[in-house]
A and B are shown apart, each in its own frame.
Chain A
Amino acid sequence: MDQLFGHGAQPFGRQLSRPGAGKLPVTVITGFLGAGKSTLIKALLESPEGAGTALIVNEFGEVGIDDALLRESSERTMLLGNGCLCCLSGTDLQMTLRDLFAERMRGAIPDFRRVIIETSGLADPSPILQTLATDRTLDLHYALEGLVTVVDAATALATAGHADEWAKQVALADRIVLTKTDLAAPEERDALRARLAELAPLAPVEEAKAGVVDPAFVLGEADGLREAARRSAFLCETPASAPTHRQPYKTFVITIDRPLPWTVFAHAFDTLASLRGPDLLRVKGFVNVAGRQGPVVVHFVQHLAHQPEELKAWPGEDRTTRLVFITRNLTRERVEALLSAVLAMADDAPEEGAGAGGPEAGS
């Protein structure tokens, strides 16, 4: 029976050319009210790069697209120019994403090639990330491309003082867009940059000009981003500076030198998730799984895991397992200790002995 599935594809399915290949990429755009999300998105939808985007919002008015509405295809979906469409999610993002996919399959709406979800200003983006990881049907059709956080340079530091959501939005970000930099004094801007680097040390930051940035940066399609991702897999560099503010969010990288049996890795993460799931905001990276040719891409959101994907090949010579952790009140030392213990346990077991290595600090 196993043979029908193909030995080459077990247990991760087809080897992919890049993470999320064959699925519709989903970019989540978050940021506080007035940070400039709508301006950014509107410009994106009008650009050639933004053609074929399905935008999901809570209210049509938020994006300021009223003047651009061309045809109403259903109560909740508006067709825009440029092959784009806009969809109201209300509260049920899961159903919205399922409907979009089904309507796209039937040809009831244009064959959009990506999804952008705009979160409402105060929202914690984690539930959106969780939705994509929880629903196996969605996980089959959509891949989280990235989380983009829009930060208003003029007011961010004032906001940062009292809003925990703000810090979380920044800490979870894959990329950050800074808006209204012309309204901030140079020293304010520097202080904000430092704060962002502390909260999200691995996220590239791009400054918007008149509210607009390169669409490719927002969509994760910029050559530089792709190249960097190819080279180092999720930009795994160790955060440069130690946190100076008392804030709960931490970003760190754990590397493991030797190939890991998949069951050992899975056990380690089951344990970690069951003990500290709520504090694992995001974990993503490449795992060198014993016996597999390419890296296995893993992505956890709290206690939930996306389906792991095996890539066709490693992006470079380096075969090290590297995992980026974004946590709340959970230190690298604790995670390393747990991984070491589980891997050592596996090392001792005669049947699982081969290949398990202890985690080591990132370079």
Chain B
Amino acid sequence: MNKAVKPVGSQEMAWNFKLIAHHELGGFGGMGEGMSIQLTKDGRRIMWMAHENAPKNFTGVDVSDLKNPRLVVQTELPELYLRSNSLEIVGDIMAVAYQTKQPGQKGAGFELFDISVPENPRSLSFVDCSGPYSRGVHQLWFVDGEYIHMSAGAPDFQPRNQLDDQIYRIFDVRDPTNPKEAGRWWLPGTREGDAEPPPVRHEAKADFGFRAHNTNVYPQRPDRAYIGYIDAGAIVLDISDKANPKMVSRWDNSPPYFGFTHTLLPLFDRNLYIVTDECVLDDMADWPKLVWVLDARNEGNPVPISTLPAPPVDVFGRRGGRFGAHNVHENIPLPTSWVSDLVIVGTFFNAGVRAYDISDPYQPREIGYYVPAAPALAPKGTIQLNDVFVDERGIVYTMDRHTGGLYILEMEF
């Protein structure tokens, strides 16, 4: 019998997920929130990923052979103060976000690439969103080949509070060489000059801003935008007139929770919303960060009915780094994406990637997890899984925020 026992936590933990492959991405394994799959004309499957920070911009990995992922291309950002963080692909067109560290820095915006030759991404256009109060684009959503929905600052947008700089913006990219803004929306009261009073700020340690994060729009409801609006909660907008979005509902759990609402994923056939709050502070300073299940039968009044059972605090709470919810797989309406309204797969930083059976929405149940061992040089001494994407075959791709790169997994439930 093996008598050498490693301390709990230094080994990977796996239940109903099986690791197929791990790729450290050439030593630049600090990844953001953008993952998308391209099926190339020559029959390859490329996973494109946005980096969490400079110097790298984005990386393409050929995952045609899942057991032997191969790095195809890795690009650089022009400035060290830039970060890409988010990208999306439709066909051979890729949109990449650019955010600056400080408002006013140049290069903030988004760029469209022709990636028909994955080894050689070719820039089609760059939209400059930089301005005195703008940090540019944090996240973008691009699934129909026509419009990009994003969280972005604008040259002409002056927030009352600098933290509220990134609003919801829509760009028409039907001509990818010449994108045009089609509409925008911000929480009333956050812009300098608004008639409405400014929103009541969260307490100082949890004042993250009244600004957009994920901005999802689905073909089932092209007239709706489902937005995680950080400290303003989960917001649904009527965008039937893109030039004039109107608020349909706003569900806000904070305070007493600590805001940073990240994603609003609608499950259309079941009238449910899945809402995540991102953990952004280490060592449980903003705990608990949860994934909520909302009854959305009454569109104007979504009601929380449960939360996904959180990973055990005793195990992960003090393990190092962030511990709590972040991203979920968002049922991307593209042929390369898995779609499920019965299983939710999400990332929880040091608690890894986890899967939940929500067939009973009042009693979600954990059915699997994969927590990689701390990757080499992990600054927090733990894995910090940051994003997850599930392809149409049910293969799970997840990536680390700091050093670990890409993990490819099989679901066994």
Q: Which of B46-54, B104-112, B254-262, B357-365 binds A?
A: B357-365
Q: Do B13 and A111 touch across chains, with their CB atoms under 8 A apart?
A: yes
In angstroms, Cα B366 to Cα A140, docked, is 11
A45 adjacent to chain B (CB < 8 Å): yes
Q: Which of A76-84, A147-155, A174-182 binds B?
A: A76-84
Residue of A nearest to B362 (CB): A4
Q: Which of B1-9, B67-75, B80-88 binds A?
A: B1-9
Q: A14-B342, A21-B412 are in contact. Are A71 and B5 (CB under 8 A)?
A: yes
Q: Do B4 and A81 touch across chains, with their CB atoms under 8 A apart?
A: yes
In angstroms, Cα B341 to Cα A81, docked, is 39
In angstroms, Cα B1 to Cα A42, docked, is 9
Contact with B along A36-72 (1 / 0, CB 8 A): 0000001001100000000000000000010110110
A34 adjacent to chain B (CB < 8 Å): no
Q: Do A113 and B5 touch across chains, with their CB atoms under 8 A apart?
A: no
Q: Which of B22-30, B134-142, B268-276, B382-390 binds A?
A: B268-276
Q: Do B297 and A45 touch across chains, with their CB atoms under 8 A apart?
A: no
Q: Do B357 and A22 touch across chains, with their CB atoms under 8 A apart?
A: yes
Contacts of A243 in B (CB 8 A): none
In angstroms, Cα B270 to Cα A5, docked, is 7
In the complex, which residues 93-129 of chain A have their Cβ closer than 8 Å to any Cβ of chain B?
Answer: 105-108, 110-111, 113
Residue of A nearest to B11 (CB): A83
Contacts of A140 in B (CB 8 A): 365
In the complex, which residues 355-399 of chain B have their Cβ closer than 8 Å to any Cβ of chain A?
Answer: 357, 359-361, 365, 367-368
Q: What's the interface size class on B, roughly?
A: 35 or more
Total of A-B residue pairs, C-beta within 8 Å: 87
Q: Do B8 and A110 touch across chains, with their CB atoms under 8 A apart?
A: yes
Contacts of B3 in A (CB 8 A): 68, 70, 81
A353 adjacent to chain B (CB < 8 Å): no
A6 adjacent to chain B (CB < 8 Å): yes
Residue of A nearest to B411 (CB): A17
Nearest chain A CB to B271 CB, angstrom units: 5
Nearest chain B CB to A312 CB, angstrom units: 10
In angstroms, Cα B368 to Cα A22, docked, is 7
Contacts of B16 in A (CB 8 A): 21-22
B295 adjacent to chain A (CB < 8 Å): yes
Q: Do B5 and A5 touch across chains, with their CB atoms under 8 A apart?
A: no
Contacts of B413 in A (CB 8 A): 16-17, 21-22
B14 adjacent to chain A (CB < 8 Å): yes
Q: Do B357 and A13 touch across chains, with their CB atoms under 8 A apart?
A: yes
In the complex, which of the residues B315, B343, B359 contacts A5, with contact meaning CB atoms closer than 8 Å?
A: B359
Q: Do A107 and B312 touch across chains, with their CB atoms under 8 A apart?
A: yes
Nearest chain B CB to A223 CB, angstrom units: 15
A274 adjacent to chain B (CB < 8 Å): no
Q: Do B365 and A5 touch across chains, with their CB atoms under 8 A apart?
A: no
In the complex, which of the residues A4, A22, A79, A80 contacts B361, with contact meaning CB atoms closer than 8 Å?
A: A4
In angstroms, Cα B272 to Cα A17, docked, is 24
Q: What's the interface size class on A, roughly?
A: 35 or more
Q: Do B342 and A7 touch across chains, with their CB atoms under 8 A apart?
A: no
In angstroms, Cα B312 to Cα A108, docked, is 10
B314 adjacent to chain A (CB < 8 Å): yes
Nearest chain A CB to B284 CB, angstrom units: 15
A9 adjacent to chain B (CB < 8 Å): yes
Nearest chain B CB to A171 CB, angstrom units: 31
Residue of B nearest to A79 (CB): B5
Contacts of A278 in B (CB 8 A): none
Contacts of A42 in B (CB 8 A): 1
Q: Do B343 and A81 touch across chains, with their CB atoms under 8 A apart?
A: no
Q: Do B269 and A7 touch across chains, with their CB atoms under 8 A apart?
A: yes
In angstroms, Cα B1 to Cα A46, docked, is 6
Contact with A along B240-279 (1 / 0, CB 8 A): 0000000000000000000000000001011110000000
In the complex, which residues 186-222 of chain A have their Cβ closer than 8 Å to any Cβ of chain B?
Answer: none
A3 adjacent to chain B (CB < 8 Å): yes
Residue of A nearest to B270 (CB): A6
Contacts of A111 in B (CB 8 A): 13, 15
In angstroms, Cα B195 to Cα A51, docked, is 64
Contacts of A21 in B (CB 8 A): 16, 367, 412-413
Q: A106-B312, A113-B15 are in contact. Are A9 and B359 (CB under 8 A)?
A: yes
In the complex, which residues 335-363 of chain B have their Cβ closer than 8 Å to any Cβ of chain A?
Answer: 341-343, 357, 359-361
Cβ-closest 10 pairs across A and B: A107-B315, A22-B367, A81-B2, A68-B1, A22-B413, A9-B359, A14-B359, A21-B413, A13-B359, A14-B342
19 contacting pairs across A/B (C-beta < 8 A): A3-B270, A3-B271, A4-B270, A4-B297, A6-B267, A6-B359, A21-B367, A21-B413, A22-B357, A22-B367, A23-B367, A68-B1, A68-B3, A81-B3, A106-B312, A107-B312, A107-B316, A110-B8, A111-B15
Q: Which residues of A contact B (CB under 8 A)?
A: 3-9, 13-17, 21-23, 42, 45-46, 65, 67-68, 70-71, 79-83, 105-108, 110-111, 113, 140
Q: Which residues of B contact A (CB under 8 A)?
A: 1-5, 8, 11, 13-16, 267, 269-272, 295, 297, 305, 312, 314-316, 341-343, 357, 359-361, 365, 367-368, 411-413
